[in-house]
Amino acid sequence: MRPSPTPLRRAARQILSSSFTTIRAAAPAHRSLSSITTTSTGSDCTCGNGRTTARRPQIQSNQNPQQQQQQRSSYHSYDHPSPPASFTPVEESILSAAYLHVPAHGFTSSALVAGARDAGYLDISPTILPEGAFTLIRYHLVKQREGLAARAREVFGGEGHVGAYKLGGLSEGEIKGRVEALMWKASREQGGYWTVAGAIMAQPSYVPPSLKELALLSDEILFLAGDSSVDPSWYTKRVSLSTIYAAAELFMTNDHSPEFMDTRAFLNRRLREVNEVGGVFRNMREWVGFTATAGVNVLRSKGVRI
Amino acid sequence: MVARPALRRVAIPSSLRTSTTHLESRISRSPFSTTLQSRNNQKPNNNNSVPEYAIPDPARPTHFGFETVTEAEKRERVAGVFTSVAESYDRMNDLMSFGWHRVWKDHFVSSLNPGFTPLTAPGSSPLAPQHILDIAGGTGDIAFRMLHNAHVINGNQDVRVTISDINPAMLTVGKQRSSALPASQQAVLSFLEANAEDLTQTKPLGANQVGYSPTNGIPDESVDLYTVAFGIRNFSNIPAALREAYRVLKPGGVFACLEFSKADKHPLFNTIYKQWSFSAIPLIGQLVAGDRDSYQYLVESIEKFPSQEDFRDMIVDAGFVVGGKGYEDLTGGVAAIHKGMKPRRK
């Protein structure tokens, strides 16, 4: 073990705790932090834990409530649910009415006009929606994502909605199973619509909001599945999930098998591939690390000052 | 040691200068700055009461380009500007914006998609014909596009368009240009001389002033779509015009405005754009239209017009609801489209 540079470690701990607060609620944050410090630095753990708890009230008193609210809106928390997506009441009333016309008209301006009429507005009224028909697609995606928590409850039984921090002890394998189940649920719900919506979403100006919505969805899936890792795999997991999800959606548009069995098999194959690739990557890293240290040690033994 | 007194010497006049510009901007924005005061004095949420700044007052100071004048004087001088540029207005627009204003106008109209009525929609009872009011529409640029969009693209003949302008010279140009339209489109087009801040008193173009009683104003809740393209910055009292738009629109009706705006988000582009508008446009005006002052006014009035967010807030203040952030930037914010909808009655 290297001699412990305390300021460095303290800085690392601060970074860790801050990255935790961006992902989870304040309460579970330092609980998991303590578990991490235990694994990394054995003896220092109680001291570090005491410091974080001592510092925490001070941090909170420095922030005004509004700032806290803003900070909290960017991560998942059961104590402070993220604010509902930005639809004003008028937009909501037009969109929710138009949504009922989507099976007949697809995600088109016709559905919007029909919805506006149902909501008691004029044919011209939907033109205030900034992105036209795409607003309707975004509404659909947001609603699906927000409804996923409830469906997670169906899939996993009661504990599904309790979420990551209370489930803390899920094994890697269990999490993978839950991810698969949730992804399947999400793509089943969206399946029928994607042939139409995909064409609009692929238009250049709508690509960024579509990708954002996709990222939010994979974040939601991982959260509901109970994944609580905060290492760099936080990013890779989300990216690979988004890719797989989009691929599965595309596959589904041409899937005519009963109950979309082919799509489910496709989804399973992709997820397995990710695991395999991840395993290969880990092994590679280990091998490179070992070889490098061994090389350095050999050089040192020859008297090179490294 | 030496630098300090020098600094102080510079500092005093510069602080004076900033204070005077502050004062100037306060005077020139006075219809808007009274907004806050009067809103504070007002009793909250009395929807029917019109705030004091939205009642036209001929004596109230406003800005005419970089000058500060009264509302009545601005009206006269704007009339002077547009009477003198009416003939060359369209040619000048092309020269000033390299023809790009056509792209903006096309986008504006297609984003509104007038006359769009999906016949397959359930309950598509023949609704009342769509009535579009094009304010400050003088030469008909927007109105003719609206008619084309409704009649040709959407195949809906049930759309009528009223072109309104305070300036008969501009309307006359529009009237002449409209003679090139198909007869079916000419039939649903009407020209109206009216002040956008008070649409209760209008007169059809060419009506004899003597013996004509200006009683046939535009009634409440009679308009589906109110458009104003590159016109609202010339109004003497913008809040009053917005409230008048609110009055004439049906519930669910849309207020749509295409206007020059601020390109502050792109500093480099903004510098080039400002350079172009302040040095080239008055020069082109002088060479082509023989009228430098009018075009100097045009660029100054663009500079004085509120930013996207401020104008959006003015629209919301007049009672409209907006979707999303309430505006759409065109060409990096050189122009912007603002839309608002009159909400349904509760």
Per mean pLDDT, which range of A81-95, B45-59, B66-80, B287-301 is the poorest? Answer: B45-59
Please tell me which residue, B72 or A49, carries the higher pLDDT value. Answer: B72
Average pLDDT score over residue span B162-171: 90
> What total of structural domains would you count in chain B?
1
Residue A155 lies in a domain: no
Residues of B in contact with A110 (CB under 8 A): 118, 120-121
Domain that holds residue B298: 88-117+128-208+215-341
Mutation for testing the B interface, residue in A127, A129, A139 having most B CBs under 10 Å: A127
Chain B within 8 Å of A253 (Cβ-Cβ)?
no
Q: Give the model confidence (pLDDT) of B283-333 as tens digits.
A: 988 888 788 888 888 889 999 899 999 999 999 999 999 988 889 999 888
Minimal Cβ distance to A130: which of B114, B225, B324 = B324
Question: Which range among A54-63, A134-143, A198-207, B126-135 has the greatest average pLDDT?
Answer: A134-143
Chain B within 8 Å of A100 (Cβ-Cβ)?
no
Confidence of residue A16 (pLDDT cuts 50, 70, 90): very low
Chain B within 8 Å of A113 (Cβ-Cβ)?
yes
Containing A268, the helix (H) or strand (E) segment is helix A261-301
Shortest Cα distance, chain A CAs vs residue B273, angstroms: 25
Shortest Cα distance, chain A CAs vs residue B178, angstroms: 25
Residue in chain A nearest B253 by alpha carbon:
A125
Q: What is the mean pLDDT of chain B?
A: 80
Residue A188 lies in a domain: yes
Chain A within 8 Å of B155 (Cβ-Cβ)?
no
Predicted confidence at residue B216, as pLDDT, reads: 72
Chain A within 8 Å of B114 (Cβ-Cβ)?
yes
Given the structure tokens 């952030």, which residue do they identify? B325
Helix A207-225 with A233-253: angle, nearest 10 deg: 110
The answer to whether the Cβ–Cβ distance between B322 and A110 falls below 8 Å is: no
Average pLDDT score over residue span B14-41: 41
Q: Above 80 in pLDDT, residue B275?
A: yes
Minimal Cβ distance to B253: which of A90, A117, A124 = A124
Chain A within 8 Å of B324 (Cβ-Cβ)?
yes
Per mean pLDDT, which range of A168-172, A258-262, B234-238 is the poorest? Answer: A168-172
Residue B43 lies in a domain: no
A to B CB pairs, distance under 8 Å: 85
Chain B within 8 Å of A129 (Cβ-Cβ)?
yes
Say if residues A236 and A274 touch (Cβ distance below 8 Å). no
The C-alpha R_g of chain A, in whole angstroms, comes to: 24
Residue A141 lies in a domain: no
Residue B57 lies in a domain: no
Chain A within 8 Å of B285 (Cβ-Cβ)?
no
The answer to whether the Cβ–Cβ distance between A128 and B339 falls below 8 Å is: yes
Predicted confidence at residue A288, as pLDDT, reads: 93
Residue A78 lies in a domain: no
Question: How far is C-alpha A241 from the geometric centre of its chain's CA atoms?
Answer: 9
Domain that holds residue A187: 163-282
Helix A26-41 with A6-23: angle, nearest 10 deg: 140
CATH number at residue B330: 3.40.50.150
The answer to whether the Cβ–Cβ distance between B323 and A91 falls below 8 Å is: yes
Please tell me which residue, B300 or B16, carries the higher pLDDT value. Answer: B300
Residue in chain B nearest A88 by alpha carbon:
B323
Residue A248 lies in a domain: yes
Say if residues B181 and B144 touch (Cβ distance below 8 Å). yes
Predicted confidence at residue B59, as pLDDT, reads: 80
CA distances from B252 to A92, A123, B112, B258, B316 (A): 14, 8, 14, 19, 14
Residue B25 lies in a domain: no
Confidence of residue A30 (pLDDT cuts 50, 70, 90): very low
Minimal Cβ distance to B254: which of A105, A109, A127 = A127
Minimal Cβ distance to A120: which of B121, B328, B344 = B344
B134 assigned to a ligand binding site: no
B57 assigned to a ligand binding site: no
Per DSSP, what are the bridge partners of residue B340? B255
Provide the greatest CA pair distance for chain B: 84
Residues of A in contact with B339 (CB under 8 A): 127-128
Q: Give the model confidence (pLDDT) of B224-242 as tens digits.
A: 999 999 989 889 899 999 9
Listed residues A18, A50, A72: the one ending a domain: A72
Torsion of CA A134, A139, A144, A148, to 10 degrees: 130
Residue type at position B247:
R
Residue B289 lies in a domain: yes
HEC profile of B123-170: CCCCCCCEEEEEECCCCCHHHHHHHHHHHHHCCCCCEEEEEEECCHHH
Chain A within 8 Å of B154 (Cβ-Cβ)?
no
Chain A within 8 Å of B153 (Cβ-Cβ)?
no
Angle ∠(A292,A294,A297) on CA atoms, nearest 5: 110
Confidence of residue A137 (pLDDT cuts 50, 70, 90): confident
SS3 call for B253: strand
Listed residues A36, A57, A72: the one ending a domain: A72
Predicted confidence at residue B90, as pLDDT, reads: 79
Given the structure tokens 């002449």, which residue do they identify? B176
Chain B within 8 Å of A117 (Cβ-Cβ)?
yes
SS3 call for B318: coil
B139 assigned to a ligand binding site: yes
Shortest Cα distance, chain B CAs vs residue A130, angstroms: 6
Residue B324 lies in a domain: yes
Residue A300 lies in a domain: no
The answer to whether the Cβ–Cβ distance between A90 and B111 falls below 8 Å is: no
The answer to whether the Cβ–Cβ distance between A123 and B127 falls below 8 Å is: yes
> What total of structural domains would you count in chain A?
2
Shortest Cα distance, chain B CAs vs residue A40, angstroms: 47
Mutation for testing the B interface, residue in A124, A136, A142 having most B CBs under 10 Å: A124
Residues of B in contact with A114 (CB under 8 A): 118, 121-123
Confidence of residue A45 (pLDDT cuts 50, 70, 90): very low
Please tell me which residue, A226 or B110, carries the higher pLDDT value. Answer: B110
The answer to whether the Cβ–Cβ distance between A125 and B254 falls below 8 Å is: yes
Average pLDDT score over residue span B208-214: 51
Residue B71 lies in a domain: no
